[in-house]
Amino acid sequence: MVLNKKNFDAVIVVEGKDDTIRLKQFFPGIETVETNGSAVSDEVLAQLKKLSQTRQIIVFTDPDFNGERIRRIVTNAVPNAKQAFITRKEGEPHKKGSLGVEHASKEALERALSDLHEVAPQKSDLTELEYHKLGLAGGSGSRKLREQVGIKLSVGYGNSKQFYSRLHTFGISLNELKRAVEEAKNGK
Q: Which residue has the higher pLDDT, 188 or 10?
A: 10
Q: Please indicate, yes or no, whether residues 39 and 96 belong to a single structural domain of this protein.
A: yes
| 150/97 same-domain check | no
**What pLDDT score was predicted for residue 122?**
62
Same domain (yes/no): 15, 69: yes
Question: Does 47 have pLDDT greater than 60?
Answer: yes
Number of separate domains in the chain: 2
Mean pLDDT, all residues of the chain: 86
In a domain, 123, yes or no: no
Could you tell me if 140 and 179 lie in one domain? yes
**What secondary structure, in 3-state letters, does the chain show?**
CCCCHHHHCCEEEECCHHHHHHHHHHCCCCEEEECCCCCCCHHHHHHHHHHCCCCCEEECCCCCHHHHHHHHHHHHHCCCCEECCCCCCCCCCCCCCCCCHHHCCHHHHHHHHHCCEECCCCCCCCCHHHHHHCCCCCCCCHHHHHHHHHHHHCCCCCCHHHHHHHHHHCCCCHHHHHHHHHHHHHCC
